[in-house]
Amino acid sequence: MHREIQIDLLDVDVWSLMRDKPSPPAGITVDGPIGRKLYSDGGAAIPMFIIMTITLPIATNLAASYIFDYLSKHGAKRIRIEREEITFNRGEVERVFREKIDIQQ
């Protein structure tokens, strides 16, 4: 069984993220960063996000620690996980991952 989690990169050095892609732990794959064009009256915006695919069962804290370390290395200050914007710290990332992974298994 797999679980996909979308992480929106609200304030991250995306170019640095694209250059440096460390290998994730077994059971985790990371696709992206990916951009999606959105058109509005003011022009085009390209929000960036990554898709993290987790093979269940996996330790929630392992997945959360990996993504926290990966993004903090690239200057992350704000992210949104599955449409929930969080304060970017290890505890908040683990809390959201627990809710999104553990509860929905």
Q: Report the amino acid identity of residue 54.
A: I
Q: How many CA atoms lie within 13 A of 50 on its CB side?
A: 22
Dist CA 81 CA 6 (whole Å): 6
- CATH number, domain at 72? 3.30.310
The pTM (predicted TM-score) of the whole model is: 0.79
Out of 15-19, 58-62, 68-72, 79-83, pick the least confident.
15-19
What is the number of domains present in the chain? 1
Identify the domain containing residue 97 by its residue range. 2-102
The answer for residues whose C-beta is within 8 angstroms of residue 72's C-beta and 6 or more apart is 88
What's the mean pLDDT when you consider all of the chain? 82
